[in-house]
Amino acid sequence: MDSAPYVCKLIPEQAFRLVSGVTGPLMEKTAGNENNGDCRAPDTIPQRLEVWWMQEGPGMSREHLNFLIGDRRAVYTKHGGVVLPADLGDGMAAYLPNPPLTDQPYQVSAKFHCGGKARLIDVSLPQVAKGRDAIKDMIELMRIAQKRYGKLYNCTPGT
């Protein structure tokens, strides 16, 4: 499932299409930089994929990343979210029937260390293909995203 081309730098297009059932073109729009940013694909409403990334550093303290993951954990827990495997860091995957500020109810978030710095990745989808295990798929997308993040930004997830 983890092979080029990638959507939003971190998600393999083939895996995204398999999980989401999306077949149309994927024009992406990325904002931000290596430290903090987001990507949406396609870049029109409704988006089919949204990826956010944040890194501890200037303008983003470790305490703030802890606050963000704590906030996500509280929301995901209310909706029966599943805790991620320990090797993916501190995070959860959930289906949010009425997600705040977005139309993407399938969400996974993880705070992990890479190269000695705290990092946070969020992945959101508006739909999962019929017959798919949404939570299992979201966890696998996070696993791939972290591995890819480490390759792109020259760090090893979990360190």
**What is the tens place of the pLDDT at every residue in 41-96?**
876 566 678 999 999 998 899 999 999 999 999 999 999 999 999 999 999 999 99
Instruction: Give Cα 6 distance to the centre of its chain.
Output: 13
What's the CA gap between 62 and 145, in Å, rounded?
Answer: 20
Element (H, E) at 74: helix 62-78
Contact by Cβ (8 Å): 133, 72: no
pTM over 0.75: yes
What's the CA gap between 156 and 110, in Å, rounded?
Answer: 15
Q: Which residues contact 40 (CB under 8 A, 6 or more apart)?
A: 8, 28, 29, 47, 49, 50
Three-state SS at 137: helix
**What is the tens place of the pLDDT at every residue in 94-128?**
999 876 556 789 999 999 999 999 999 999 998 89
**pLDDT, position 145:** 97
